[in-house]
Structure 1
Amino acid sequence: MSPSVPSVDVPGVLASGPTFASTLQGVVPIDALAWIAIAAFGLALLGRRFDVAVPARPLAGVAWLLFGTYWLTMVPYYYVDAQSPLQTVLALAALPLCVYTGYLLWSGRESLFVLTKAVALMGLIYLPAETIPIVRQWLIETTAVQTHYGMELLGHSPGINEGVNGYESRFNFDSEETATGRTTYIVLACTGLGSMAIFGGLIAAVAAPLRRKLTAFALAIGVIWLLNLARNVFIGLATPHGWFQQDVVVSLMTTYMGAEETRVSYLVAHNYISQLLAVVALIGVTYLVVKILPEILDPLEEVLFVLTGTEYDLETALDADARTDGGSREP
C-alpha cells in the first residue's frame, strides 16, 4: 500500500513500487534479470531430473547469483522511496546469502535443490502477476474493493477512485476532513501475493501426497488473505486519520528517518508495525502448515544451514511427524 495526496503524485513514492520495466544501470531490464534467474533455476532442475548434458549444479549456482543481484537492485527503492529499514536490510543481505547458497550447491550440497525448486516455483507464481497487466490490475482492484469493505465494517466509507498507478485502487478520503490530508492506494505488494508465492513454492516443491499439499495450500492462502486485508484496513485508516502523528513520533521520524511530517502515520503503520507483525504472522502460518505438511521442513532446514552453517533437525525439534489429522508422515 502506498500513500498519496489527492490529485497529485507523492514526491519520493513510486506509483506502484518498483516495476520490472525499470532498468539496472540503464542496461539490463530488471524484468529480464528476474526471468533469466527463474529460467536458469528451471534449466538446472530439469538437467538434474533427466540427467542430461546440462551441468545442473554450476547452472543453479549462477541462477542464485542472478537472483541475489535482482534483490540488490531493489535496495534503492526500499531505502529511498519506501523508506523501509526491514526491506532494505533484507534486500542487502540477499546477495551474499544467494552467492553462498550457489557456492554450496556448486560444491556438491545436493539437498539445496529442493530449496532451489521452491524459489523457482515462487517466481513462477509471482512474476506473471507482476508482468501481465490484466492480472496485476485484477489483483490490485479486487484487493482494493475487499479492503474498502473492511473499512465499511468499521464505519468508514471513503469510496474508491483512480490511484496514481492508474487503477481503481485509491481510497477517496476527503483531505479537508482528515488529520494528515493524505490517503493510500493499493499496489501489488498489498495483495499478499508475495507471501502466498512463498508458501505456494514451498508446498509445491516438496514430495508429499496431493491431498495434504492442497489442504496446506488452502490453509496458508486463506490465513494470509485474511491477515493481509486486516493489514490494509489498518494502514488505510491510520494514514489519513493520523493515528501516529504524536509529537515525539513525528520528531523522531522527521529528524532521524528523513520522513515528511504528513507521512509519519503511514510509515509507522506500514514500515514498522505491519512489517514486524507480518514476520510474526509468517512464522505462525508456517507452524500451521507444518502440522499438515511436515515435508516443508526440509527446505526450511536448508535455509537455516545457509544462515548459520549448522545442520538442524526441525522435525524432531517440533515433533512435526504427528499431524493434526492424527496420521503420520507419509513417504
Structure 2
Amino acid sequence: MTDRPQSAGSASRPVSDFGLDDSVLPFAVEQLDVRGRVVRLGASVDQILGRHAYPAPVARLLGEALALTILLGSSLKIDGRFQLQTRSDGVVDMLVVDFDAPGRLRAFARFDAAGLADEARGQDLRQDLLGRGHLAFTVDQGHEAARYQGIVALTGQGLEEAAHQYFRQSEQIPTYVRLAVAQSVTAQGVSWRAGGLMVQFLPSASERRRPIDLHPGDAPEGTSLEAPAEDDAWTEAKALVATIEDHELVDPTLSSERLLYRLFHEPGVKVFEPQMVRDACRCSDDGVKAMLRGFSAEDRDEMVGDDGLIGVTCEFCSTFRVFDPKDFDA
C-alpha cells in the first residue's frame, strides 16, 4: 500500500489558496525520505453522508473512514479495488467503504439508533463508536492477481490508531495518519467536509526502517521487546505532521499545497499531479437482476410486496429499484 511518486516533470502550475475538493495530492519530502498523500473531500463526502441523513457522530466516523480509504486505496493501479470494512460490537457495528481506482467512491454505515440515543442521553457519547471487533483492508488488483486482506483488531481505539497498528503489524512500514471531519457553514448552507494526510518513511536503505519485532507468542510471561531507536528523519517528519490541526485538513480556503508548505518548507516538499475522486456507486439494474436470479423461486416469492412487485434498495446509494417477479419465471 505504498507508492513512489512519479516524476513531477518540468512543467509548473500556479498554487491556489483554495483547496481542490475531492482530490488526492501525492507528495515527497526527499530530504526526510518521506512519501505521502493529502486528501480533501467536499461534495463527495457531503453527498454520501447526506443521502443517509446519518446522526452527526456516525457521519463523522464514516467521513474518517472515507478519507482513510482514499489515502490507502489511491495507490492502486487503474483497475484496482480497495475496501475498508469494520465488524464490531459497538453502536456502529459495520462500516463499508469501497474505492474503485482511479477515483470511484461509495460507503455506508450500519448503527444501532437506540444505542446511540442511550449514550447521548447518558452524556457518555464516545468519540469512538466502534467498540470491539476487527477492521479489514481488502485489495483486489483484478485479472489474475491474488486478493490481499489485512486485518487489525478493534479494541476501542479510533481509525487513526487502528491504521497505525495495521502498518506496524502487517506492512512493517513506518506510517503516520491524520484524519479530520467537520461541518462547514456557508451562505449556501451546511455541508460535510473531510480531510486526511498520510506520510510513510521509505528510505532507500531498508535497514534504516528498523521495524519493531512482533512478540513471538511463546515467550515467558512478562517478556517485553525493546523497540529500536527511530531514524532521526522519521522522528522529524512525524513531529511536523503531528502539528496539523483538524481545521487545517478541512478548511476550503487552505489548499493542500499551502498546507504541505506550512509543514515542510524547511526540508522542502515536492508535489505531483492530483488525482480526482467522486461519489459513484457501482450498482445497476442488471447487477440487481443478476443477484435476484441467484435466489430460489421460493425466496423471491417472499420478497414480493403487497403491490405484487419486488423492491430492492441499494445500501450504498439508496437507489430504489422495482422488479416484476414474472421476469424471473423462466
TM-score (norm 1): 0.29
Computing the radius of gyration from Cα coordinates, the structure with the larger value is: 2
| Higher-strand-fraction structure | 2
Q: Which fold has the larger relative contact order, with Cα–Cα distance below 8 Å and residues 6 or more apart in sequence?
A: 2
Higher helix content, 1 or 2: 1
